[in-house]
Amino acid sequence: MDSVAGQDGPGGLPEGLGAAIRGTAADIAALLGPDTDMELRIPGAEWNVGQAAAHLALANELMAELAAGRARPYGDGTPQSLAAANEESLAAFGERAAEPLAAMIVRHADSCAGALEEGSAEGAVVTPLGPMSPRELGSYLLTHMLGHGYDLARALGRPHMIDRVRAGLTLPFLLTAMPRVTDPSRTAGMNARYGIGLWGGGRFGVTLVDGDLSVDPLPPARPDCTILIEPVTFLLMALGRQGQVGPIVRGRILVRGRKPWLAPRFPGLFTAP
């Protein structure tokens, strides 16, 4: 993936996004077999496997309806409102069995991908994190499934389904979401120009002017700090599933530029929703 702006697939979606959505849903479903312990706790979270799987089924249904052009209000975009909406939807949905939830996750992911490929929604759609284009919505669905799929795999002691290609396909959503999940207490008064590059392709820039953050699909001409990062590591850090110390020690994050001390501050500029 050489660019976050390419639109080579059906419906103007980034090439491979539809396949990544369907493949990720299938990989998650494969974790949810008849012998899966749905009471296992997700590491570092309040949900168990059954609750996380139910949330995925409901979220995929929501995304499919949005992709089909049907409005579905869901919180106001703040982390607090999204958490409240999640809990409310789970309380009203009683299914916790593995196989029915697996089937729902796959069915709704396929419906969403199909609607996006057919261009069912005209123009921007209103998502839980604000207006997005169809390609950003598809990337949002993929990102959401990869985050919770990673959690399920960890809880069940199975390999996760995130790879470099899928991580790269989350960029359209992440670049849209970054300004919306900025932590004002961390960016206040800050001036900096970041260039971010994913190994193997995918680049963007983040600029702060007096604390106001903007994202550009290309790095700035003269960045203060350039961060080169392995794609899976980038996604796990963006989703709040991994810190930066381990990846730095293992050489998965490389920093250059005239202000390298800005690099450790970068992850903390955002609050994962």
Domains observed in the chain: 10-173 (1.20.120), 182-269 (3.30.1050.10)
Beta strands in 33-141 (DSSP E): 125-127, 130-132
Q: Which of 205, 206, 215, 59 is nearest to 144 (CA)?
A: 59
- For residue 2, the model assigns a pLDDT of 41
Residue 140, token pair as written in the block: 């949002």
Single-letter code of the amino acid located at 72: R
- For residue 3, the model assigns a pLDDT of 41
User: d(Cα 85, Cα 73) in Å, to the nearest integer?
Assistant: 10
- For residue 123, the model assigns a pLDDT of 82
- For residue 5, the model assigns a pLDDT of 43
- Enumerate residues 6+ apart whose C-beta is below 8 A from 22: 106, 109, 110, 113
Which residues in the chain land under pLDDT 70? 1-8
- Enumerate residues 6+ apart whose C-beta is below 8 A from 40: 48, 49, 155, 156
**pTM of the predicted protein model:** 0.94
User: d(Cα 17, Cα 23) in Å, to the nearest integer?
Assistant: 10
Q: Which of 230, 189, 235 is nearest to 212 (CA)?
A: 189
Task: Count the neighbouring beta carbons within 10 Å of the beta carbon of residue 29.
Answer: 22
Q: What is the DSSP string of 125-174?
A: EEETTEEE-HHHHHHHHHHHHHHHHHHHHHHHT------HHHHHTTHHHH
3-class secondary-structure state, position 116: helix
